[in-house]
Structures are given as C-alpha cells and as structure tokens.
Structure 1
Amino acid sequence: MFRSSSLVFAFTGLVSIVNAQSAVSGTWAQCGGIGYAGPTVCVSGTVCTFLNAYFSQCLPSDSAPSSTATSSSPGSTSSASAANFWFSFGDSYTQTAFTPSGNPPQIGQPLGNPPYPGGTTTGGPNWIDFDTVTFNTSLILTWNYAYGGATIDASLAPPFAPTVLSLTDQVNEFLNGTANKPATAPWTNENALFSIWIGINDLSWSWWQTGDRLAYNDVLLDAEFALVEQLYAVGARNFLFLNVPPIQRTPYFASLGPTNVTGPILESVIEDFNTKLATAANNLTNTFDDVQTFYWDSYLTFNEILDDPTAFGFTNVTTFGSAPGLFWGNDNQGLHPSSAAHEIFGQGIAAVLADTIW
C-alpha cells in the first residue's frame, strides 16, 4: 500500500484529532513544556509528569517516573514491550543528536538521549519530536539516527566534513545494533516504522555537476533503495519516505540573487529526484507484497506555505531568525525551517500515518 498526502489533506485529517484533544491530553501525549500550547490536563489514569523544561508527558500512573526522566530505569523491558518503535534516518532537518550508545528511548525519554527535544536545528522541537510526543496516539519510542549534513553515500556526494554520518553509515549503525532487537527495543514487523528524509545535501551540493545530472539522481536513489532492501532483510516492513523540499527558496539560495543560475537548475533537479523517489517508493510495494509505504510531500507543503504564509500563521518567509512569525529558523545560514514550521510538518506527517498504530 502506498499512501500520500498534501498539506490540505493533512489538516483535514487532523481536525478531529485536535478537537478531541482540546480538553485533555491522551495517554503518552505531551501536556507541558516550553513552547507547548496544548492541553495541560491528562486523561484519567495518567499523570502529567515533568521530564524537562521542554517536555511534560501524560504517563500511566503506574509507570510515571518518581521525579524526572533520569529517575526512570533505562532500558526497562516492561515499557519497551508496550511500545511502537520508530527508526529514523536523515539529515539536519530530522536530527536530534541521538547517540546509539547513550540512554535508549524509554518511558519518560521517548527519543532517548539527549533530553527532549534534543539537538535540533530549529531552536526547539522538530517534526519527529512532535510526531513522537504530540501527534502520537500510542507510546512511541524513537531511535533517530539522522545526522546533520548527511548525504546518501559519502562516496557519491561527499558531506561537508568527513565526520558526518551518511545515510549508509546511519543504516549500518542500526544494522549493527538495534536491528538485533535488544531488550530495550523488542520491535517486530508490525510495530516498527522506518522513515528516511534524505537528499537535501546530495542535491544542493551537486546541482552544478556537468554531464547528465538527472541520471545522477538515479545513482543516488539506487544507493538509497539498496539500503532500504538491507532494512527489509532484517524485518522492516513499514516505510515512510519524505521527499526533498524546494531548498532553492531558502533565504540562503535566494540571497544569491535573481540572476544566479542556481535556483532554476536546482529546482529542476529536485523535481526530477522527487518524481523518481515517489516511483521507487511505490515500486517497493510491487517488489515486496508484505511492505507498506507512506509518503509525505514536503515539496508541496513548503510551496503551499511559502506561497501563502499568512494562511499558516507566518508573517515572514524571506528572512530567518528567532522572532515569532518566521518560517525560517535562527541557524545563521537561512537553510532550516523554524520549530513552528516543523509543527506543521509534524501534523501533515501524522495525517499520512493516520489509521495506523502510530
């Protein structure tokens, strides 16, 4: 099955969720924290438990830590056995600075380490933070292997520094660790989701290459889906793919000026990559009849917001910083969306995943 969603559908699908949670937060949902504007009262049988300045969560009364997240037992198999698992791969749009060797995701620390929202590029929660603790309908434990600056494979598109972990490196981290289903992550075919948001750095740093640039997209995607097949081989069956946003519209690329050739060339390269990504994701279900794929169209979503920002609560989409109303965050580059933008992304992605265990 292949599922896709535009932003319009995303908001439509979430109306009932938002209305239902307007009075109380459900089990495992967020109920407080810096920047949080939702309900602070938890559903009966749960306790709004302070975990850190950014995050309080509605935890079942019999599993809430006595004080803070650090007081819960790392790796508790009782918490893990009741969870759904999310294994995430990507770049700076997804990163939370998770370290696989640190504390694992668990009740009270659903993204493991560092404490929620982690090391993001937004100045606050990003989309996977929101989908793990705000738009979730079950206990989700998220292993987020995403790494800032990542490309699909360093041998195809070298990252800005040799220490950056590519998608290939990230998948290998998973295969050499959590793929083995330790007590902290007893995931199964049914209760695990694998998401990949990659390609931004591959395309933004290679648009200028000579030769058949669109054929190079095929090379990149062949490498990505070879990794997907490795994930399938160890039991992955549910995949979420996110395409490349219109990064030619970021303040950074816009600052290069209207006569710069980057924008039009980059736009055509991204659109070609995204078309081929959607085809490859759809073909995955034809190759493996036990696979379910989901697809979130970030390119469409970004363009909808950037074309009509006030409709989405933004007052400025051309500059970046930490002021309210800005679509682009304070990253000193003008390349990354703000936390407010990521909340909208999280809503859209949650709608794509609607009617699943997530």
Structure 2
Amino acid sequence: MKLSVASLLPLAVCASTATARGVKPKQIKNLVTFGDSYTDVIDVGDGGVAWPVYAAGYAHVSLHPFARSGATCSNKITYRPFPPVFESQLPQYFSETSDGSLRLDPKETIYTLWIGTNDLGINSLVTGGNKASIVDVSVCMVNWVKVLHASGARNFLLQNMIPLQNTPIYAPVSYPNRFWTAPRNTTAWSVLMRELVLSGNALTKLMLEALAPALPGSHIGLFDSHALFTDMYEHPATYLNGTAPLNVTGSVDSCVFEENGSSASCTKVNGPARDSFLWYDELHPSEQAHRTVAREVATVIQGGRIKDVEIQLVDPG
C-alpha cells in the first residue's frame, strides 16, 4: 500500500527534486551502521536476524556494524550504562579507520543512524530520569552527520523514530513487563511518548534541512521509519505473513509481571507464526518488521526511491 507521503523531497530548502539525485545504482559497496538494539547485529533485539544483515544481503554490500544495544546518542545527554553513539560507537569507528583495520572509500559507503528509543524511554525522558530535553537529543542526532562529514564521509541515511506509543510497553493498555514493573499511568506515558517522538522527528528534519547546504558533496537521506511503522501497524496484511492471526498489539515473546515484579506469566511464539507479529517483545520490532526495514534501506543503497516511505535526499554540492 502506498502511503500518502511524497516519495522524494529535498532536505535543503533551496534544492528541488530535480537536483536531489541521491546515490547512483551500484555506487554503494559498504553499509556502516550506528544505533541501539534496533540495529545491533550481535545482541539482536528482534530475537532473530537484525535488519542490517538482511539489508546488506539484499543490496549486496559489505556490512560494518557499530550499533550496540541499550545505546543512546550520548551519555552526556541521556545516561545509560551502555555504549552510546558519541562516547563509544564513533570512537571505535575512528579507531579502526585511523589504524587501517577499516578502509572505506567515502564515495562507496553509506552511513546509517537509528537512535532515540532509549533516549526517550524508561529511565530517560519519559520517566524524567535526567535533565535533558528532546531538543538535546535531536541536536545530537544531527551532529552525528556533521562529525562523520568532517572525517570524510559523504553518504548518510538518518532513520527517524518509530511511533513508540504503539509498542506494547508504551501503549495505553500496557501491562507490567520485563522492562518496567512499577506502577505507572499508562495513558500518560503513551501520550507523552507520542509527543516526544513527533517533536523529535520534526526537529531533526528541520535541523537537517538547515545543515544540508553546509555539507558540500554530501547525500543526506531521511528515512521515515515513523511512516513505515505506522503503515505496518495500520495495514499489517501488507507486511506480516506468518501462520497465526496478524497481531500488532501483542508480541512474539511477552511476559506479564505482577506489579511487584515477583512473578510473571510468559508466552513465546515459535516457528512461522512469529512472522504474524509486528513486535518481538514489549519494546522491539519483530524480525519480520526488520525484513521490511531492510528491503527499504536496500532500495536506497541501490540508488532507488522508496515507494512506501518518505525518503529525502539532497546533493548540496
């Protein structure tokens, strides 16, 4: 199903769709990923294979993964005891490129960032766990582009935040789960999360529009994960193909806890029925959802336009 969003729009205000060329077919040979458990290929959040592995296979490119589960954009903004993008993932990347263990041609490499779930979530903005704001988080996301551009990178794909209020943990009818067992106002959490996501995505887009003209020779894509996951939630038959009834509110691996966290009732779906679910657990997308993300990202890598999500490209140089 085609969404009611433009398939190609410029990031730079002065650009037009005619000049927003994007990468050329077969130009990209390397995919470098940053982010959290939505992208980590080691500690995989979907219980199976993460989307970058699928995307690299679909697009026939080499994968260089730096995303780590639990990460935020920066621990100086939203602290968590996990490897953040700025204090861990980027330093690791720069270490490998400086010592020669990783050699990448900028023209043949695309860099992706999918971050925000932990920055906004429990023990962070939604629970008031720090003094940061959504503005700080959005600035950090855009600074990722600036830092990599300064190092020579030229092709970027920033994946915006999904509608987190639809995940089981932040839904209005949420229940005590493995991620949060304490009492809470589930409706208030859901409303707040929706506003944080929408505000953060809008801010990031505006900041990228302002930044793009200052980054000569770059191709900057804004992958509309929010639109894609909204469509998967509203039209699951287009994307889910498991053997069980299609399910966008439950999860493959769910645990309903007592509010004191002392005991839980857990269920886990196995086999082909897993592909009937949008969510793997209360927080993470399912492997079938990851396959959908991978197909769309592979389309960008191969120089094509995305039919079902908004993709914005600009070549300010």
- Does the TM-score normalized on the shorter chain lie above 0.5? yes
CA distance in 1, matches of 2:199, 2:93: 29
1:273-307 CA deviation, whole Å, 9 max, x = no partner?
A: 00111222333321112111112111111111111
2:54 corresponds to 1:130: yes
User: What CA deviation, in whole Å up to 9, does each residue of 1:178-214 have, x standing for no partner?
Assistant: 2x272x533122011111101111112312449998x
Q: Distance in 2 between matches of 1:84 and 1:259?
A: 44
Distance 2:31 2:294 in 1: 14
Find the counterpart in structure 2 of residue 251 from structure 1: 168
Q: What per-residue deviation string (whole Å, max 9, x for no partner) do you get for residues 23-77 of structure 1?
A: xxxxxxxxxxxxxxxxxxxxxxxxxxxxxxxxxxxxxxxxxxxxxxxxxxxxxxx
Which runs of no fewer than 5 residues in structure 2 stay unpaired?
8-26, 176-184, 253-268, 305-317
Give the secondary-structure state (helix, strand or coil) at the position aligned to 2:138: helix
Match of 2:40 in 1: 95
Structure 1 residues 233 and 259, CA, compared in 2 at 3 Å: closer, same or farther?
Answer: closer
Return the offset for 1:352. 3.1
Which residue in the other structure is 1:319 paired with?
250
Letter of the 1:157 counterpart: T
Please report the TM-score for the alignment, with normalisation by the length of structure 2. Answer: 0.70
1:113-164 CA-to-partner distances (Å, cap 9, x unmatched) read xxxxxx412222221111111x21x4x22111101111111121112xx2x1
Are 2:185 and 1:185 equivalent residues in the alignment?
no
Q: Which of 1 and 2 has higher RCO (CA within 8 Å, sep 6+)?
A: 2
**How far apart in 2 are the matches of 1:273 and 1:296?**
14
Distance in 2 between residues matched to 1:229 and 1:245, nearest whole Å: 23
* SS of residue matched to 2:49: coil
Matched with 1:290 is: 217
Taking a change above 3 Å as real, the CA distance of residues 345 and 209 of structure 1, as seen in their structure-2 partners, is same
Task: From 139, 157, 161, give the equivalent of 2:78.
Answer: 157
TM-score (norm: length of structure 1): 0.63
Identity %: 23
> Residues 156 and 259 (structure 1 numbering): CA distance in 2 closer, same or farther, change over 3 Å?
closer
Specify the alignment match of 1:120 in structure 2.
44
Residue in 2 that maps onto 1:167: 85
CA distance in 1, matches of 2:186, 2:142: 36
- Counterparts of 1:129 and 1:326, CA distance in 2: 20
| Number of equivalent positions | 247
For 1:191-270, list aligned pairs within 5 A. 191-204=108-121, 205-209=124-128, 216-254=133-171, 255-256=173-174, 260-270=187-197
Counterpart residue number, 2:303: 355
Post-superposition CA distance 1:304-342 (Å, at most 9, x none): 11112123235111111134111111x4xx111111111
